[in-house]
């Protein structure tokens, strides 16, 4: 087993601390995945274990005083951009800024380059979160999540010095 990898940042005043996922966090993350996504989209324990050590993957978890694991975010570097593959928060601590802290945490750890993600069309709550954090819609991927389940592509453009609203990249 590697070192604990504990390097929490925060908290931003709301009691949320963000740090690298540790092995001991993975069962809690698995439960959050199961509670947050339908079968097929939720990562299981073994997949999470692989992602935790996979090169190029950034896997962070959030902790609060009330929860051992409050949420997770997983991203990977994709065509020069950071691609957010997964973001989920435990149902009991939603609307308390956990996802916001996770998004800001991954942006801090990967401070330059564009960020891209895909969100289900019906998931307007997540889209509101991303829009509030500076992500803009960049198109629709039809049937991305299965037949009749379209994906909304969203992007946040950044340069070495911060947000760059002018540049466009493809997902």
Ligand X SMILES: CC(C)(COP(=O)(O)OP(=O)(O)OC[C@H]1O[C@@H](n2cnc3c(N)ncnc32)[C@H](O)[C@@H]1OP(=O)(O)O)[C@@H](O)C(=O)NCCC(=O)NCCS
Cβ proximity to ligand X: between 14 and 164 the closer is 14
The whole-angstrom separation of Cα 107 and Cα 112 is: 8
Nearer to ligand X, 131 or 159 (CB): 131
Contact residues for 89 (Cβ-Cβ < 8 A; gap 6+) = 32, 36, 62, 70, 71, 98, 99, 102
**Cβ(167)–Cβ(158) under 8 Å?**
no
Q: How far is the CB of 52 from ligand X (least distance, A)?
A: 19
Q: Which residues contact 96 (CB under 8 A, 6 or more apart)?
A: 14, 16, 64
Least separation in angstroms between CB 79 and ligand X: 19
The minimum distance between CB 3 and ligand X, in angstroms, equals 28
CB nearer ligand X, residue 4 or residue 137: 137
In the bound state with ligand X, the residue whose beta carbon lies nearer, of 67 and 77, is 67
Question: Which spans of this chain sit near ligand X (rule: CB under 6 A)?
Answer: 36, 87-89, 94-100, 119, 123, 125-126, 128-129, 132
Q: How far is the CB of 23 from ligand X (least distance, A)?
A: 22
């Amino acid at each position: 087993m590697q070192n604990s990898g504990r390097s929490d940042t925060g908290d931003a005043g709301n009691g949320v601390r963000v740090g690298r996922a540790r092995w001991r966090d993975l069962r809690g993350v698995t439960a959050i995945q199961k509670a947050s996504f339908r079968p097929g989209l939720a990562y299981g324990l073994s997949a999470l274990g692989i992602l935790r050590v996979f090169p190029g993957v950034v896997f962070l978890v959030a902790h609060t005083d009330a929860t051992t694991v409050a949420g997770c975010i997983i991203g990977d570097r994709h065509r020069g951009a950071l691609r957010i593959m997964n973001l989920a928060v435990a149902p009991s601590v939603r609307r308390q800024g956990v996802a916001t802290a996770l998004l800001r945490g991954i942006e801090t750890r990967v401070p330059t380059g564009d960020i891209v993600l895909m969100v289900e069309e019906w998931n307007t709550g997540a889209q509101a979160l991303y829009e509030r954090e500076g992500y803009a819609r960049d198109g629709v991927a039809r049937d991305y999540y299965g037949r009749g389940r379209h994906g909304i592509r969203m992007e946040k453009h950044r340069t070495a010095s911060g947000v760059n609203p002018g540049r466009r990249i493809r997902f």
